[in-house]
Amino acid sequence: MDFNKIKEYGNLEMLAKQLVEGFITGLHKSPYHGFSVEFAEHNLYNPGDSTRHIDWKVFARTDRLYTKRYEEETNLRAMIVTDVSSSMYYPLQDAGKLNFSLVAGAAIAYMLQKQRDAVGLCTFHEEIDLMTPVKSTPKHIHNLFLQMQRLQDAPKNEKKRTNVAEVIHHVAERIHKRSLVVIFSDMMDSDDNLEETFAALQHLKHNNHEVLLFHVTDSLTEMAFDFPEKPTIFVDVETGVEEKVQPAQIRDYYRKQILERYHQIKLRCGQYKIDFIEADCRKDVDQVLLPYLIKRRNMR
148 CA to centre of own chain: 13
Higher local confidence (pLDDT), 62 or 35: 62
Answer yes or no: do 46 and 111 share one domain: no
Answer yes or no: do 54 and 178 share one domain: no
299 assigned to some structural domain: no
The CATH number for 139's domain is 3.40.50
Nearest alpha-carbon partner for 285 in 139, 129, 97, 126: 97
197 assigned to some structural domain: yes
Q: What is the mean pLDDT of the chain?
A: 83
Q: What is the mean pLDDT of residues 12-32?
A: 69
288 assigned to some structural domain: yes
What's the pLDDT at 26?
Answer: 52
Whether 37 has a pLDDT exceeding 50, the answer reads: no
Name the residue type at position 59: F
108 assigned to some structural domain: yes
pLDDT in tens, 117-148: 899 999 999 899 999 999 999 999 999 999 99
Answer yes or no: do 60 and 149 share one domain: no
Whether 247 has a pLDDT exceeding 60, the answer reads: yes
91: preceding bond cis by omega (within 30 degrees)? yes
Q: What is the mean pLDDT of residues 95-99?
A: 92
Name the residue type at position 72: E
Question: How large is the C-alpha radius of gyration of the chain?
Answer: 21
- Cβ atoms of 160 and 126 closer than 8 Å: yes
Answer yes or no: do 12 and 53 share one domain: no
Domain range for 63 is 38-70
- Cβ atoms of 102 and 16 closer than 8 Å: no
Rounded Cα distance, 26 and 23, in Å? 6
Whether 172 has a pLDDT exceeding 70, the answer reads: yes
